[in-house]
Amino acid sequence: MADQPRRPRTLGDARSEAEAAFKKVTAKVAEAPVKKNVTPGIKEQVSLRIDQDVLEHFQSGGPGWQDRINDALRKAAGK
């Protein structure tokens, strides 16, 4: 038999092949993000920066000014 030159197999190649095989077997299917259930009437506290004159306009109506701002935002959002 004639000696044929062999292509040396490096550790990097074996490692790459092993990692690729492992990833193929253990790959998880991405799950769809969980949809947030929106319950009417549940309010979330946020920090909102608005102009002073806008705030004064809503506060001038007395108590309930936050609800009035919420109603105006809902109307602007088309809901």
- pLDDT tens for 4-58 read 666 655 556 778 888 888 887 776 777 777 777 767 778 888 898 999 999 999 9
Q: pLDDT digits over 53-62, tens only?
A: 999 999 999 9
Structural element, H or E, at residue 65? helix 65-76
Quick one: pLDDT at residue 61?
A: 92
Quick one: pLDDT at residue 57?
A: 95
Half-sphere exposure of 14 (CA within 13 A, CB side): 4
Quick one: pLDDT at residue 72?
A: 94
